[in-house]
Every structure is written in structure tokens, then in C-alpha cells.
Amino acid sequence: MVEKKKNTFLRNGIILIVTFLLGMLFLYGIFYLFPNVIGETITKVERDVTVTDEGIADAVDKVYDAVVVVNTYVNGEAYSSGTGFVYKTEDKTAYLLTNNHVIENADDVYVTFTDGTIVEANIVGADVYSDVAVLSVDEDYIISIAEIGSSEDARLGDTVFAIGAPLDSAYSWSVTRGIVSGKDRLVQVELTSGNTKTPMIVNTIQTDAAINSGNSGGPLANSNGEVIGITSIKLASSSIEGMGFAIPIETAIEYAEQLISGNEVERPYLGIYMLDVTSAYYYREYYDIIREANVTSGVIVTDFEDNSPAAAAGLEIRDIITKVDGHDISSSAYLRYYLYKHNVGDEMTLTILRNGRERDINVMLTAS
């Protein structure tokens, strides 16, 4: 009887062990074949981002009636058109910002407001190198004044929009929307003054908001309806799309206030004639100098003006300027850019190559 009970206990124990092993084997198979079914529970906290798009109509309303269409005339005939906007009033006079290239060479300038009123505007002043011009009209014609914002506070990806008159008056006050695509973009342009064309580097805000011919001089505004720039440049080719540029509003107003005060914008000068190294390769008299200096960019001094700051500082003909204040100079356009960041009376350091040796020369800048 005891032996029978012992056998029964042994058999039940074997069954229990086999069942346990089979169960473990089964669980192993589940983990092996379906690793994501059973696993460690992980608590994961993510930032909630809500994206809404209700448009920018309220922002557009704030600046819309401050925008004008600018039409210019030469000898009584239509010459060019662009855009501008009212940025302030003072002593019963309203002042409008636009681009210099919009009103350049004009005998007469007329502005059209959103209510259809057409008024002859006075040219207060214009500056070729900043491409800024100021117009004025009687304050009584003004419907609205643009609110000025800050380009410095703008961030990449911020919503911006432009208002202007692309192509012709049939599309006046068109609104185009985009984002801030880049800041402090140095863009080379060719500025015209009379018969002289001068390559210049301009510091700009880049945007993908559509900028077309006729938009020049109009506002680039942020999503609060504050103007942060003046639309000025568009790069156009079959391989480029959505690359427009605007002059930062701080720069534009700085020059505008000088013009309104009756002062010409005063810039320092070096008093040199120069040739880009990239162009000088084609001149026999400079080829050997460039080869000996082993440079591929920079500016060669070809001559001086009498009593110029450069001559007084000890520059010599055939010196190659490679840096201004430590900044590499690839062309005369970049030299002008860094030169015009200075004021009259400042000292500027030029790094030059002379007879194969590098040296620094300090130049005391004066007005031309």
C-alpha cells in the first residue's frame, strides 16, 4: 500500500516537472517568435505640438493700407513702377520708403493709395549703395502707417509676407507668403549710378515669399503685421526658385533718417583704383605678380587718387589686398562691403601682399 502511494507521488511529480518544462518552452517560443508582444513597459513623455493655420489676414490688414504703388515718369512718359509704404509722419508730412532703383532717373514720381487716390510725391533723398529712397506727401492723404518691427528678432522659419505690385498695376497690392529662409545673406548686386555700374555686396534677409518685378520697395512683414524689411532683390534662373531678398528695416531706416535730415549719406573711402585678382589674370602686367603671390582672390591696387587715405597710409601700386579687418576679401565688392561698415574717422586694417610678403597696414578713413 505504501509502495503504491510512493509510485503515485513519483508519477505526479514527473508530470508536474514535464508540464513546467513544456510551459517554459512555450513561453520561450512566444518571446522568440513575437518579441514585441510581451516586453518591458516603458513610459515615454513627448512634447505635444499643435499645428493650426488660420491664415495671416489680420496681419495683412495692419499694413495693407500703408502700401502704395510707385510710378515714375521721365519727360512726361511712364518710366518704371514699384512699391513703397508709409513708415512715419512728422510735422504734417508723411514719409514713404522705397528702393533707390525704383525712382532712379525719374523726373516725376506719383504714388497710388489703396483707395485709388493718386498723389505726386517729392523725392526727399536716395542712396545708391543701400538702395534706399525716401518720398514724402502731405499727411492728409495717408490712410494708414506701417508698424515697424525688428529683423534682428526674426527667426529662421518665421512666417513673413510681402505686399506689392508685381508686373503691373493690374496686380497691385498682391500678397505673397513665405518664411524667413536665411538671415545676414551677403548677396552681390550691380548698382547703377549714371553710366557707372558698381558691384556691391548687400546684407539681406532671405525669404521664399514670391518676389516679382514691381514688388521692389514694398514691405516684408512678420506674422504680427510688423515690417522687418524692404523687398529688393530676386534671384531668377531655371535652376532657382523661391529666393527673394529684403533690406533689413533697421538698415533702411538708418539711411532714411539721414536723408530726411537733409544730409547726404556720408561714406568713407580709400581713394584707390582696383582690379579683382580673378580679372587681373588676363592682364599681362599683373599675371606675374599674381603667380608669385600664389593667390586666387583679392584686389590689386592699380592707382591712387591724390591725397587719398590709402596713399597716406603707405599702400603702393601692385599691392594685393587680401583682407579687411581680418575678413577675407575675394573681390572689390567685398572690399566695399567691409569698408562701408566703417564711419568716416575710423581706422581700418588692410592685409596686403607685397613682393611675396604679407603685412598689415592701418588706414585712417576720410570722406571722399
Active site residues: 101, 131, 216
Amino acid at 254: E
Are the CB atoms for 111 and 84 separated by under 8 Å? Answer: yes
- d(C-alpha 330, C-alpha 299), whole Å: 7
- The residues with which 68 forms a beta bridge, in sequence order, are 84
Percent composition of the chain: helix, strand, coil (DSSP 3-state, to 5): 25, 40, 35
Write the CA distances from 209 to 179, 212, 350, integer angstroms.
7, 10, 39
Number of H helices, E strands in the chain: 8, 21
CA 282 to chain centre: 34
Q: Rounding to the nearest 10 degrees, give the CA dihedral for residues 219, 225, 229, 234.
A: -60
Amino acid at 87: Y
C-alpha closest to that of 159 among 86, 312, 304, 52: 52
- d(C-alpha 206, C-alpha 194), whole Å: 28
- The residues with which 198 forms a beta bridge, in sequence order, are 191
In this structure, the strands spanning 159-164 and 174-193 are: antiparallel
- d(C-alpha 303, C-alpha 271), whole Å: 9
Cell, residue 101:
532703383
DSSP 267: -
- Neighbouring C-beta atoms of residue 233, cutoff 10 Å: 22
C-alpha closest to that of 356 among 281, 297, 288, 278: 288
Are the CB atoms for 67 and 85 separated by under 8 Å? Answer: yes
